[in-house]
Amino acid sequence: MREGIYSVGQPIIQVEDLHKNYGEVQAVRGLSFAVEQGEVFGLLGPNGAGKTSTVEILEGLRTPDRGLVRVCGLDPETSGNAFKQNVGAVLQSTSLPDKLRVKEAIEMFAQFYRTRADTDQLLKQFQLEEKRSAFYGHLSGGQKQRLALAMALVNNPQVVFLDEPTAGLDPQVRREIYDIIEQLRREKKTVLLTTHYIEEAERLCDRVAIVDHGQVIALGTPRELKRGSAGTTRIEVRLARPVGDGALRRLDGVADCREFDGSYVLHSSSTAQTIVALVKHLESENNELHSLEIFSPSLEDVFIELTGRRLRE
């Protein structure tokens, strides 16, 4: 840890009562959380929840309307170069000149910092050795994202911000990015990432803040949050004809039932009982079951229970 900036025992990221408006739109409304050194901390929520605005304030790219923000003990808005030396960031989109070569990009970026990682080691770590002389415009989407991550780490930062780091990438590349983030955890880097992918938050994050309409609506480890969803199993069904969700809510074992685009989502504390009761009910109503899927409890269920909506709505 760089001396004189961060006191051991304090959260390395502090956010208290953060507000940010864009005209009449309240993007962030009293958001608060803290991140400990070495954590991978996730802001999980749908698009428009306020995640990116929060991260851009933490990165010093936007000015908050109200609230306290500290990263490594510094105010991102007023600490200038001292702040920049301690953080790395991958924005939602990174764009470089098409004719800039991969190694040139990393070395150019390194010139902004007093502390610099070994650029050849970064190329190796991010599987870009064979692309060191390739033009940026010739890289695939996954290679461009790996380059963005390498550039974010070129100053050996204490805190790394990753805003939707796998958005738009295919499943194989997403898994490669997951491996990199897990390596950062092993190196005791503090990572704050935003995502709307359930599996991403559950796999990568030590703790998660679920964000909706600019506020934290739940916070804890993925296991704690799932345990708080009453231990129910999610059953999703599609039927030949629509039914009132009140009838399904009264089935044996059902704790909650909601309808989403023609699909009924039931949360059941007794899966077998609920399925038997569902089949009997459909037979009595001369209705048919088109599909039935059963899911273990997830952060998606926590969000549905708290908001009545899906994360990707």
Strand partners, 74: 71
Which CATH number is 275's domain given? Answer: 3.30.70.100
Interval 279-303: pLDDT, tens: 999 999 999 999 999 988 888 888 8
Interval 54-111: pLDDT, tens: 999 999 999 999 999 999 999 999 998 999 999 999 987 778 899 999 999 999 999 9
Q: How far is it, in rounded angstroms, from Cα 44 to Cα 193?
A: 9
Tell me: pLDDT of 311 over 70: yes
Q: How far is it, in rounded angstroms, from Cα 216 to Cα 270?
A: 30
Share of the chain above pLDDT 90, in %: 67
Looking at the structure, do residues 173 and 259 belong to the same domain, yes or no?
A: no
Using pLDDT thresholds of 50, 70 and 90, give the confidence band for residue 3: very low
Tell me the pTM.
0.84
Looking at the structure, do residues 172 and 120 belong to the same domain, yes or no?
A: yes
Share of the chain above pLDDT 70, in %: 95
C-alpha 212: how far from its chain's center?
13
Looking at the structure, do residues 53 and 69 belong to the same domain, yes or no?
A: yes
Interval 176-205: pLDDT, tens: 899 999 999 999 999 999 998 888 999 999
182 vs 38, 231, 261, CA distance in Å?
11, 28, 36
The encoded tokens of residue 20 equal: 């940010």
Looking at the structure, do residues 113 and 234 belong to the same domain, yes or no?
A: no
Looking at the structure, do residues 184 and 199 belong to the same domain, yes or no?
A: yes
Q: Can you tell me the mean pLDDT for 118-143?
A: 92
Q: How far is it, in rounded angstroms, from Cα 296 to Cα 235?
A: 9
Per-residue confidence (pLDDT) for residue 2, from 0 to 100: 47
Q: Is 164 left (phi over 0), alpha (psi -120 to 50) or beta?
A: left
Please indicate, yes or no, if residue 5 is contained in any of the structural domains.
Answer: no
More confident residue, 261 or 137: 137
Q: Crossing angle, helix 102-110 and helix 141-152, to 10 degrees?
A: 20
Using pLDDT thresholds of 50, 70 and 90, give the confidence band for residue 313: low
Edge-to-edge strand ranges of the sheet holding 207-212: 87-90, 159-163, 190-195, 40-44, 207-212, 215-220
Looking at the structure, do residues 204 and 124 belong to the same domain, yes or no?
A: yes
Tell me: pLDDT of 216 over 70: yes
Q: Final residue of a domain: which of 224, 247, 267?
A: 224
Please indicate, yes or no, if residue 131 is contained in any of the structural domains.
Answer: yes
Q: What's the structural domain count of the chain?
A: 2
Q: Range of 268's domain? A: 230-296
Per-residue confidence (pLDDT) for residue 231, from 0 to 100: 67
Tell me: pLDDT of 237 over 60: yes
